[in-house]
Structure 1
Amino acid sequence: MKETIALSVNHLQKYFYVPNKFQVLKDLSFEVKKGEFLSLIGKSGSGKSTLLYILSTMDTDYQGELFINNVLLTGKKQNELAAFRNSNIGFVFQFHYLLPEFSVIDNVMLPALKLKTKSYDEIRAKAMENLNLLGLKEQAEKQANKLSGGQQQRVAIARALINDPAIIMGDEPTGNLDSKNTQIVFEIFKELAKERGQTIIAVTHDDDFAANCDRIIELQDGVLLK
Structure 2
Amino acid sequence: MTNKIVLKADSIVKYFYEPVKFEVLKKVSFEVKRGEFVALIGKSGSGKSTLLYVLSTMDTDYTGTLELNNEVLTNRKQNELADFRNRNIGFVFQFHYLLPEFSALDNVMLPALKLKKKSKEEIEEAAYKNLGLLGLQEQALKKANRLSGGQQQRVAIARALINEPAIIMGDEPTGNLDSKNTQIVFDIFRELSKERGQTIIAVTHDDDFAANCDRVIEMRDGVII
The answer to whether 1:153 aligns with 2:153 is yes
| Distance (Å, rounded) in 2 between the aligned partners of 1:93 and 1:19 | 27
Q: Which residue of 1 aligns with 2:38?
A: 38
| Runs of 4+ that moved beyond 4 A | none
- Counterpart residue type for residue 177 of structure 2: L
- Counterpart residue type for residue 96 of structure 1: H
8 A contact 2:3–2:33 mirrored in 1: no
RMSD (Å), alpha carbons: 0.9
Name stretches of at least 5 consecutive residues in structure 1 with no aligned partner.
none
Give per-residue Cα distances to partners, 1:108-140, cap 9 Å, x unaligned: 000000000100000000000000000000100
The answer to whether 1:12 aligns with 2:12 is yes
Give the drift of 1:169.
Answer: 0.2
| Distance (Å, rounded) in 2 between the aligned partners of 1:164 and 1:93 | 18
Question: Secondary structure of the equivalent of 2:58?
Answer: coil
In the alignment of these two chains, the number of paired residues is: 224
- Counterpart residue type for residue 123 of structure 1: I
Q: Which residue of 1 aligns with 2:165?
A: 165
8 A contact 1:108–1:155 mirrored in 2: yes
8 A contact 1:171–1:204 mirrored in 2: yes
The answer to whether 1:89 aligns with 2:89 is yes
Question: Secondary structure of the equivalent of 1:188?
Answer: helix
The alignment's TM-score, normalised by the length of structure 1, stands at 0.98
| Distance (Å, rounded) in 2 between the aligned partners of 1:186 and 1:19 | 37
Identity across aligned pairs (percent)? 76
| Distance (Å, rounded) in 2 between the aligned partners of 1:40 and 1:222 | 12
1:71-220 → structure 2 map (5 Å cutoff): 71-220=71-220
- Counterpart residue type for residue 203 of structure 1: V
- Counterpart residue type for residue 11 of structure 1: S
| Distance (Å, rounded) in 2 between the aligned partners of 1:91 and 1:37 | 14
The alignment's TM-score, normalised by the length of structure 2, stands at 0.98
Name stretches of at least 5 consecutive residues in structure 2 with no aligned partner.
none
